[in-house]
């Protein structure tokens, strides 16, 4: 099936309740219908490298992700995905400041991603 891929960078709002909303956001991603949308990868970008594995001590600044949609969906599908995500509706992301880039992955090594272990 032909697909469209997008790389998205979206900043957090100042004082965002990221950790309080995180479980809702992850549930949305885990329950995606791949015929509609698929999160290929995603994660937070930070103000500095963390010195601990405790996310409560991290300096969150926003998120970066790659999303995949069926061919013909267009950027409006990406905007809809962002606007309806719990991180946006819960006050974490400043979705209107998101940068959306048309993208095509050329390399993936998922076994090296921490979430895959």
| Banded model confidence at residue 13, pLDDT cuts 50, 70, 90 | very high
Q: Which domain holds residue 22?
A: 3-116
Give the CATH number for residue 77.
Answer: 3.30.70.1060
For 77-98, write each residue's pLDDT tens digit.
Answer: 999 999 999 999 999 999 999 9
The yes-or-no verdict on residue 115 having pLDDT over 80 is no
| Dist CA 85 CA 75 (whole Å) | 15
7 Cβ partners below 8 Å, 6+ apart? 64, 65, 66, 100, 101, 103
pTM of this structure: 0.86
Q: In what order do the strands lie in the sheet with 3-11?
A: 38-46, 60-70, 3-11, 99-103
Q: What is the DSSP letter of 93?
A: B
Q: Into how many domains does the chain fold?
A: 1
First to last CA, the chain: 28
């Amino acid at each position: 099936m032909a697909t469209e891929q997008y790389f998205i960078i979206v900043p957090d709002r100042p004082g965002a309740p990221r950790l309080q909303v995180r479980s809702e956001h992850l549930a949305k991603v885990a329950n995606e219908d791949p015929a509609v949308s698929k999160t290929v990868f995603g994660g937070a970008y930070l103000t500095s490298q963390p010195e601990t594995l405790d996310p409560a001590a991290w300096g969150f600044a926003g998120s970066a992700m790659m999303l995949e949609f069926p061919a013909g969906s267009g950027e409006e599908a990406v905007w809809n995905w962002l606007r309806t995500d719990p991180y946006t509706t819960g006050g974490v992301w400043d979705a209107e400041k998101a940068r959306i880039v048309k993208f095509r992955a050329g390399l993936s090594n998922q076994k090296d991603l921490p979430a895959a272990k």
